[in-house]
Structure 1
Amino acid sequence: MISTQAWADAQWLWDFQQMRHEPRPCSVAIGLGSHDLGVADTTADLYHRGMMPLIVFTGANSRTTRDRMPRGEAEHYRERAVELGVPAEAILVEPNARNTGENIRFSRALLEAGSVPVSSVLLISKPYEERRSYATARKLWPDVEWVSASTPLTLPEYVDSIQDARLVIDMLVGAQQRLMVYPRQGFMIEQEIPEDVATAYERLRDEGFTSRLVPEESSHG
């Protein structure tokens, strides 16, 4: 049973992750691989709205996706987008990235190898990782403009879609920890953490929502 306080604290973290950028036309979109096919759905919707001419789906597999996405996250995203009417020729697949830092570095290398001019990127992630993804991208590819996007869901709606409330809160806590730890390790830009958000994170961590925490000296983004 998740307490009322824990839900309130989770809402603080959820709201902080939302960058609230207005989607606008960009040179390219990068869809970050994960367990959540909603990223592919949102990318396809933005493509049909004319927000980008080209998509890069990036992601290998993780312990949470290897059974559900045996061909790799990026490939399953590509298949989903094609089902939703995105032309196959408008999609590039980067199949090797295993963390957010690699998502950005490998996608950049793929685009540069194809001589694709990039001045702005629509960065599409899970709703609870908008800010973390943005901070990583700004650090690793600072000379382009980044616009964050995700499926427009409330926290209760997202929990309903995943059907595992504790896992969602664990993931929120993990994403928040990375925002606080990774800038010191050079993996993302520094951002000011509001006191209410830091307090909510500490309460949830102390209450045991810790399965997605990383060691303080972790070496990947």
Structure 2
Amino acid sequence: MADAKGQQRVITTQEWRDAELIWDYHQMHHELRPCSAGIGLGSHDLGVASHTVDLYRQGLFPVLVFTGGNSPTTKARFPRGEAVHYREHALQLGVPEKVVLVEPNAANTGQNAVFSRQVLAAAGIVPESVLVVCKPYEERRSYATFKKVWPGVDVVCASEPVGLAAYAEGIGDAKLVIDMLVGALQRVMVYPEQGFTIPQEVPGDVAAAFKQLADGGFDSRLLRR
């Protein structure tokens, strides 16, 4: 993210260390196993759709749902909606049309879970397990959300296997990526008390890294309470 002079902020070595600690915490490190259905969570990141396709090709689920409408950050990139564009991308990659379901209305992760469950039920599918595919820094919050709003299903989380530096390079804005990591962690910490997610333990070093980065100006994605 550029400063007032249009220059990219230089990330210090300690800031990268703190960010990498949070990046690793956000990932659940689940051992992947076959599930009843895959669910790709819509976002600005088309890599989520590509990785969902990769996991389908590995035989990890027989049917998949792409879920998501639009947000202010995705409307220009995906004007027909996140899930619709994800589906089109999957079909271009050769996934059979009959195995791709679309949920085009969800505006948050809770709705991703609830509406995907409804779409699967309408197709006659009541899954025992779901493999949730999302951005690398959204695994933990996605897991905590799905377990809260869909408690009867076994939840496995996955994301594109990429490191923080490579992901930031792909986005083209390291400051923005770290802002997103910090914002996602804040939600992991505060959403349980708001009833949106199940609690997740936050180790002391991760909490300290959050404070350092938030106080250091990586705060554009923080909730203002």
Question: TM-score, normalised to structure 2's length?
Answer: 0.94
Letter in 2 for 1:42: H
Task: Give the structure 1 partner of residue 166 of structure 2.
Answer: 157
Q: Distance in 1 between matches of 2:83 and 2:76?
A: 14
Q: Distance in 2 between matches of 1:91 and 1:40?
A: 11
How many residue pairs end up in the alignment? Answer: 216
Q: Distance in 1 between matches of 2:167 and 2:59?
A: 26
Letter in 2 for 1:90: V
Task: Give the structure 2 partner of residue 102 of structure 1.
Answer: 111
SS in 1 for 2:66: strand
Q: Do structure 1's residue 120 and structure 2's residue 129 form an aligned pair? A: yes
Q: Do structure 1's residue 203 and structure 2's residue 219 form an aligned pair? A: no
Q: How does 1:1-221 map to 2 (within 5 A)?
A: 1-216=10-225
Q: Distance in 2 between matches of 1:80 and 1:119?
A: 27
Unmatched runs of 5 consecutive residues or more in structure 2 = 1-9
Q: CA deviation at 1:206?
A: 0.4
Q: Distance in 1 between matches of 2:90 and 2:122?
A: 23
Question: TM-score, normalised to structure 1's length?
Answer: 0.96
Unmatched runs of 5 consecutive residues or more in structure 1 = 217-221
Q: CA deviation at 1:63?
A: 1.1
Tell me how large the CA RMSD over aligned residues is: 0.8
Q: Distance in 2 between matches of 1:215 and 1:104?
A: 25
Q: Distance in 2 between matches of 1:30 and 1:214?
A: 26
Q: Distance in 1 between matches of 2:40 and 2:131?
A: 8
110-119 vs 140-149, which moves further: 110-119
* 1:189-212 residue CA offsets vs partner (Å, 9 max, x unmatched): 001110000000011110111111
SS in 2 for 1:189: coil
Letter in 1 for 2:205: D
Q: Distance in 1 between matches of 2:207 and 2:24?
A: 13
SS in 2 for 1:149: strand
SS in 2 for 1:21: coil
SS in 1 for 2:206: helix
3-12 vs 194-203, which moves further: 3-12
SS in 2 for 1:9: helix
The structure 1 segments of at least 4 consecutive aligned residues displaced by more than 4 Å after TM superposition are none
Q: Distance in 2 between matches of 1:160 and 1:85?
A: 28
Letter in 2 for 1:187: F
Q: Distance in 2 between matches of 1:84 and 1:167?
A: 29
Q: Distance in 1 between matches of 2:53 and 2:121?
A: 23
Q: Distance in 2 between matches of 1:77 and 1:215?
A: 31
Q: Distance in 1 between matches of 2:118 and 2:95?
A: 23
Task: Give the structure 2 partner of residue 219 of structure 1.
Answer: none
Identity %: 61
Q: Distance in 1 between matches of 2:72 and 2:195?
A: 25
